[in-house]
Every structure is written in C-alpha cells, then in structure tokens.
Structure 1
Amino acid sequence: MNTKAEIGILISRVTVGIIFLVHGLMKYQGGIDNTIGFFEQLGIPGYLAYPVGAFEIIGGVCAIIGLGTRIFAAIFSVIMITAIISAKYAMGFAGGFEFELALLVMSIHLLLAGSRLLALDRIFTNQAASHIPTA
C-alpha cells in the first residue's frame, strides 16, 4: 500500500477512535442508567449498555494508538449495525442513520485494510517502517 493511502487510513483510524471514545464516555458520564433505559426502550437488554460503553471507550483509545485495530473495527461494525437497525433506520437516511452508516463504512474499511502507520500493532506483528512502500 502506498504512503498516501496509509496516511488516509491513519486519519480514518484516529477519527473513528475519537468518535467512539467520546460516545463511550458519554454513556457513562451522563449516568449509565440513562443509557440502560434507552437500550431497554429500543428492545435491547439494558445490561448491554455496560459492555457497549466499555468497548467504545477501550476500542476508541486502541484505535487512536493503533492497537487491535481490526478487532475493534469489527466490534464497532456490529455496534453500528445494531444502532442502525434498532434505533435509526425508521428515521430514514438524512437526519437518521447517515452518521452511523458513515461510521460503519469507516469501520469496515479499517477491518479490511488494517492500519500500520503510527500503529502499536506494528510492535506485535514485527513490521518495520521500511515495509511501507512509497509511491
């Protein structure tokens, strides 16, 4: 993959990470009971608010630093598919599920492409910076 493409993926990875981190923090800062109630209104078991919020916080941080990018991208994809189906689809595209769809597509892209530039995953996969070709 060329350097310009890797820079684009890095920007997407950090952006997705920040968005999920902030949304995860909001689930707990606003009182997790509010999130539990919201989940239950949607027909989703309320106790799932805890792991969803935790995955968003932990996964957001990990996406920002490039650790477990593909794993968290898969989790983010499931969260977004669930959000679209359970909460946003009935509202239509504009003003409804457009934001969640954009996050879903970005997450799927990270799942498929990974992200090596400025990523801690490189330490664990033994990839040197010289392996990124330039074009």
Structure 2
Amino acid sequence: MAKRYSEVGILLVRIMLGFTMGIHGVSKITDLNATIGFFSSLGIPSIMTWLVILLEIVGGILMIIGVLVPIVAVGFIIEIGTAMVLLGFQRGYVGGIELEVIIIVLSISMILTHWNKKIINLYPVLN
C-alpha cells in the first residue's frame, strides 16, 4: 500500500509539473509580440521563442499524460537552466530563481522516477 501512495505522489508531481510548464507556454503565446520582443532584447532569435513555446505546451501535455517523461524533463531542465543563466541569478533566490529551481528539481525527480519505465506511462502503478 505504501508503494501505491508513493506512486500516486509521483503522479501528482508529474501532472503539476506538466500543468505549470503548459500554462507558461500558453501565457507566452497569448501575448506573442511581447514574448518575441523580450526574447529579442536578450539577443535570442525569434525561432527560439517558438521552440520554447512548443516545448512548454507540447512538453507540458506529454508530461501530464505520461509520454516521453524523461526526455521532456531534460528539455525543461535545459530551457529553465538557460533562463536562469540569462536573467535569473541577478534577482537572487526569493522572488528570483525559486520557481526555476523547483521546476529543475521536479524535472530531475521525473527523470529519476521514470527512466526505466515504458515510453507511455499514463499511471505509474500500471507500468
């Protein structure tokens, strides 16, 4: 029974991580011109804006439904790590990079808990 509870806990973390990243992608696309302008101000080409949005929305959906979880998590780590390097460290931890650190830690936990599972892992207890 305890194993089942821990698997449900991992499922909840996976769903929340996917939801959080997906919502961030949707917020970027709702004000696309501002997002492209912000990325451009950092010297990032506009194509990267689209790749980030795609990763966040599609990756978020894949994370929620349990498909390619470790691969999506690596993508999240690369994206969030890059964002931290480009702008996060100057803001400090509290009110700065705390959300980014949480997303990276959750992504690492998804890699560790899903690495040896099937490609499609809708519900951890079934795999």
* TM superposition score normalised by structure 2: 0.86
Structure label with greater radius of gyration: 1
Amino acid at match of 2:74: A
Task: Write out aligned runs for 1:63-102 (5 A).
Answer: 63-102=63-102
2:8 match = 7
Amino acid at match of 1:112: L
Give, in angstroms, the shift of residue 68 of structure 1: 1.0
Task: Write out aligned runs for 1:6-45 (5 A).
Answer: 6-30=7-31, 32-45=32-45
Give, in angstroms, the shift of residue 115 of structure 1: 8.2
* Residue deviations 1:96-128 (CA, integer Å, cap 9, x gap): 000111001101110121189xx98148xxx98
Contact 1:24 1:57 in 2 (8 A): yes
* Residues 113 and 106 of structure 1, relative CA distance in 2, 3 Å threshold: same
* Residues 70 and 6 of structure 1, relative CA distance in 2, 3 Å threshold: same
Say which is worse superposed, 67-76 or 35-44, in terms of deviation.
35-44
Contact 1:27 1:53 in 2 (8 A): yes
Give, in angstroms, the shift of residue 77 of structure 1: 0.7
Say whether 1:121 aligns with 2:120: yes
SS at match of 1:67: coil
Give, in angstroms, the shift of residue 44 of structure 1: 2.5
Whole-Å Cα distance in 1 between the matches of residues 28 and 78 of structure 2?
Answer: 17
Could you list the structure 1 runs, at least 4 aligned residues long, displaced by more than 4 angstroms after superposition. Answer: none
1:51 match = 51
**Identity across matched positions, percent:** 32
Structure 2 unmatched runs, 5+: none
SS at match of 2:67: coil
* TM superposition score normalised by structure 1: 0.82
* Residues 93 and 122 of structure 1, relative CA distance in 2, 3 Å threshold: closer
